[in-house]
């Protein structure tokens, strides 16, 4: 059994806020849900499946179903950090295929800016019951230096340069200039990136994503419902999900979980990377993009630096337009979880609803790729292949 | 090297108490599996490679090489985090490189275990320093 063709993304909404001092977390979830349902032409009373992850308050789906007044027959709170929402799309398709629900709502929201969180530079202690914590937390692993160690090893092993990584930010900035909601709208150069302050060698400030409040939501529906709505049809063709970890100490920082989930998703969809017109690639840092592009098969392992250079990721310029909303690097990284916005921009592209300056002509096949957790230690990877029907 | 990192007290649980007790004696233990004849890190009772529960601690030489590292510049006291591959094994562990020139570290560099004292009285953390 395959989920290819079993479900469609009928609604997508990205909250316009980037700093939500005056809103509660639950309120942000509800505003995102309302936005996505209105986008689909549905109401909350149509929803019979609900999905959320670790950003949800309280008891997750229980607290938010209560708050939003949802009457449900299917819930799922799979938590893999920022990639959770791509996995939710796949799980929603599975549930729909099995008849467990017909209209699945997925929400994400967070307010790390309003709460003054030191997102990338302070160690996060997940509690001493996490078996890794006693052996890692005392050494001050933070988000930035974990990803930095991957970049350092990639440079050592393959000759990747800071200038090549910088091209990823440059491409994102070219797209963000057209997005009025983007946090960073100024076009930057390779020199701007490599001359920005060093955060954790070899990652500079402009190699890092933004920190933003906000959120997003998706509505995944059964085929007959999708076809009854007055929206372009965005079909889920393939999906992959897997964790990548430290393998008992046999550590290899040169690849991501996309090496597992990319081939699985492409096989289920029956397409290849060469068929892809647009790519949403999780961009917590520039190195995250580079490694996932290699692992998805857009270029050979170690060739990512050459692949991303010279504007190859800029829409209308290069071979693989990516993150045309400006991505996490320039637009939005709500709740420090970038998977949701990856799916949303892929849906915009497939509908032809991206900004005209970045819309990919005849965009009928897209990939959305997410990682969540920490690239160096343990992360969840998820890949979705989406098609406009 | 002007300011030293301050290390928190270890979080000791029943499964890894032996490891932390040994650090008080200046002994660095690595967990091995008799069934698949391999080392793993961090220590577990059940081998993450083969699933056997026939595992045991053995003192490590403390020699290793840097697999990867990064100097965190945006900290009050900049510090080097690293994965160090342990001599005679195929495993790497997360650690800090201490008592070093933060601007002259490199992948492949030989390092030696150097325990760092924690705020706890007696317990130590396995950190490394360039040979």
**Tens digit of pLDDT for each residue in A29-68?**
999 999 999 999 999 999 999 999 999 999 999 999 999 9
Total domains, chain B:
1
> For residue A127, is it within any domain?
no
**How crowded is residue A221: how many other Cβ atoms within 10 Å of its Cβ?**
29
Does B89 touch chain A if contact means CB atoms closer than 8 Å? yes
Total domains, chain A:
1
Average pLDDT estimate for A93-106: 98
Q: How far is CA A245 from CA A171, A250, A276, A377, B93, in A?
A: 30, 9, 28, 6, 13
Per-residue buried b or exposed e for A343-367, using 16+ beta carbons within 10 Å of the residue's own CB: bbbbbbbbbeebbeebbbeebebbb
> For residue B10, is it within any domain?
no
**Secondary structure, 3-state, B67-127:** EEEEEECCCCCCEEEEEEEECCCCCEEEEEECCCCCCCCCCCCEEEEEEEEECCCCCEEEE
Test A197 with B94 for CB contact under 8 angstroms: no
> For residue A141, is it within any domain?
no
Report yes or no for ipTM above 0.90: yes
Tokens standing for residue A114: 């309003």
List helix spans (H) across chain A: 25-40, 61-68, 84-97, 133-136, 143-158, 162-176, 190-194, 223-228, 258-269, 286-296, 304-308, 339-351
> For residue A180, is it within any domain?
no
The residue among A379, A295, A320 whose CA lies nearest residue A86 is A379
Out of A133, A137, A199, whose CB is closest to B74?
A: A199
> For residue A193, is it within any domain?
no
CA neighbours within 13 Å on the CB side: how many for A189? Answer: 3
State residue A284's pLDDT score.
98
What chain B residue is nearest to A125 in terms of C-alpha separation?
B11
State residue A125's pLDDT score.
75
If you write DSSP's letter for every residue of A105-162 in order, what string do you get? EEEEEE-TTTTT--TTTS-----TTSTTHHHHGGG---HHHHHHHHHHHHHHHH---H
If you write DSSP's letter for every residue of A50-70 in order, what string do you get? EE--TTS-TTTHHHHHHHHT-
CA neighbours within 13 Å on the CB side: how many for A388? Answer: 20
Measured between CA atoms, how close is B5 to chain A, in angstroms?
9
Question: In a 3-state reduction of DSSP, which class is residue A339?
Answer: helix
Model confidence over B43-79: pLDDT tens digits?
999 999 999 999 999 999 999 999 999 999 999 999 9
Out of A146, A150, A249, whose CB is closest to B93?
A: A249
Question: In a 3-state reduction of DSSP, which class is residue B32?
Answer: strand
Average pLDDT estimate for A152-179: 98
Measured between CA atoms, how close is B27 to chain A, in angstroms?
16
- A68, with CB counted inside 10 A (0-12, 13-18, 19+), is middle
Chain A residues closer than 8 Å to B68 by CB: 149-150, 152-153, 156, 253
Q: How confident is the model at residue B30 (pLDDT cuts 50, 70, 90)?
A: very high
**Whole-number Å distance between alpha carbons of A65 and A46:** 13
**CATH number for position B72:** 2.40.50.840
Q: Provide the Cα torsion A122, B75, B126, B117; round to 10°.
A: -110
> For residue B1, is it within any domain?
no
Does B37 touch chain A if contact means CB atoms closer than 8 Å? no
Question: In a 3-state reduction of DSSP, which class is residue B130?
Answer: strand
> For residue B6, is it within any domain?
no
> For residue A175, is it within any domain?
no
Q: Look-up: residue for tokens 């071979």?
A: A319
Task: Note down the domain range covering A13.
Answer: 8-116+208-388
> For residue A140, is it within any domain?
no
**Whole-number Å distance between alpha carbons of A126 and B2:** 31
The residue among B79, B77, B67 whose CA lies nearest residue A152 is B67
Does B10 touch chain A if contact means CB atoms closer than 8 Å? yes
- Cβ proximity of A322 and A341 under 8 Å: no
Measured between CA atoms, how close is A79 to chain B, in angstroms?
22
The residue among A219, A215, A227, A213 whose CA lies nearest residue A70 is A219
Average pLDDT estimate for A311-319: 98
Q: What are phi and psi of A56, to 5 degrees?
A: -70, 140
CA A272 to the chain's CA centroid: 20
> For residue B4, is it within any domain?
no
Q: Above 80 in pLDDT, residue A121?
A: no
> For residue B8, is it within any domain?
no
Tokens standing for residue A277: 């017109």
**CATH number for position A13:** 3.40.47.10
Task: Note down the domain range covering B49.
Answer: 17-130
Q: Above 80 in pLDDT, residue A275?
A: yes
> For residue A147, is it within any domain?
no
Q: How confident is the model at residue A128 (pLDDT cuts 50, 70, 90)?
A: confident
Q: Above 80 in pLDDT, residue B3?
A: no
Average pLDDT estimate for A262-284: 98
- The terminus-to-terminus CA distance of chain A in angstroms comes to 21
> For residue B3, is it within any domain?
no
The H or E element containing residue B21 is: helix B17-24
Test B81 with A156 for CB contact under 8 angstroms: no
Q: Above 50 in pLDDT, residue B1?
A: no
CB < 8 Å from B in window 202-231 of A:
202-203
The mean pLDDT of chain B is: 95
Q: How far is CA A31 from CA A54, A67, A118, A215, A275, in A?
A: 18, 12, 26, 9, 35
């Amino acid at each position: 059994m395959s989920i290819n063709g079993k479900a469609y993304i009928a609604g997508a909404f990205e909250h316009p806020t980037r700093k939500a001092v005056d809103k509660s977390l639950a309120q942000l979830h509800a505003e995102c849900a309302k936005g996505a349902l209105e986008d689909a032409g549905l109401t909350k009373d149509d929803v019979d499946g609900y999905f959320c992850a670790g950003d949800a308050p309280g008891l997750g789906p229980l607290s938010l179903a209560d708050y939003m007044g949802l009457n449900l027959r299917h819930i799922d709170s799979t938590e893999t950090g920022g990639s959770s929402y791509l996995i939710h799309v796949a799980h929603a398709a599975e549930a729909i295929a099995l008849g467990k629900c017909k209209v699945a709502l997925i929400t994400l929201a967070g307010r790390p800016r309003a709460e003054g969180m030191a997102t990338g530079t302070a160690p996060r202690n997940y509690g001493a019951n996490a078996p890794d914590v006693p052996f890692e937390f005392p050494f001050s692993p933070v988000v930035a230096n974990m990803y930095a160690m991957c970049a350092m090893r990639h440079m050592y092993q393959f000759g990747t340069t800071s200038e090549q990584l910088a091209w990823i930010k440059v491409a994102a900035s070219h797209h963000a200039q057209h997005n009025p909601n983007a946090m960073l709208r100024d076009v930057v150069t390779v020199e701007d990136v490599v001359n920005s302050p060093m955060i954790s060698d070899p990652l500079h400030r402009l190699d890092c994503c933004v920190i933003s409040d906000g959120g997003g939501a998706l509505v995944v529906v059964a085929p007959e419902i999708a076809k009854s709505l007055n929206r372009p049809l965005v079909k889920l063709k393939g999906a992959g999900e897997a964790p990548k970890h430290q393998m008992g100490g046999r550590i290899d920082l040169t690849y991501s979980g996309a090496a597992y989930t990319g081939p699985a998703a492409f096989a289920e969809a029956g397409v290849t990377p060469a068929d892809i017109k647009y790519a949403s690639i999780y961009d917590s840092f520039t190195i995250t993009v580079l490694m996932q592009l290699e692992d998805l098969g857009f270029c050979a392992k170690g060739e990512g630096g050459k692949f991303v250079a010279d504007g190859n990721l800029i829409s209308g310029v290069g071979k693989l337009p990516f993150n045309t909303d400006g991505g996490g690097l320039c637009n939005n990284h709500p709740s420090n979880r970038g998977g949701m916005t990856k799916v949303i921009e892929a849906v915009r592209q497939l509908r032809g609803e991206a900004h005209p300056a970045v819309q990919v002509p005849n965009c009928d096949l897209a990939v959305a790729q997410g990682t969540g957790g920490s690239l160096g230690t343990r992360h969840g990877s998820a890949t979705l292949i989406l098609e406009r029907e | 090297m002007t300011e030293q990192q301050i290390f928190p007290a270890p979080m000791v649980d029943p499964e890894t108490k032996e490891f932390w007790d040994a650090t008080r004696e200046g002994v660095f233990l690595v967990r091995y599996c008799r069934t698949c004849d391999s080392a793993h890190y961090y220590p577990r009772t059940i081998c993450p490679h083969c699933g056997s529960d026939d595992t045991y601690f053995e003192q490590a030489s403390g020699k290793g090489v840097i697999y990867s590292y990064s100097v965190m510049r945006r900290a009050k006291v900049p510090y080097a985090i690293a994965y160090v591959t342990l001599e005679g094994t195929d495993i790497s562990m997360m650690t800090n490189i201490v008592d070093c020139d933060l601007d002259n570290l490199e992948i492949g560099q030989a390092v030696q275990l150097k325990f760092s004292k924690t705020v706890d009285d007696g317990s130590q953390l396995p950190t490394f320093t360039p040979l």
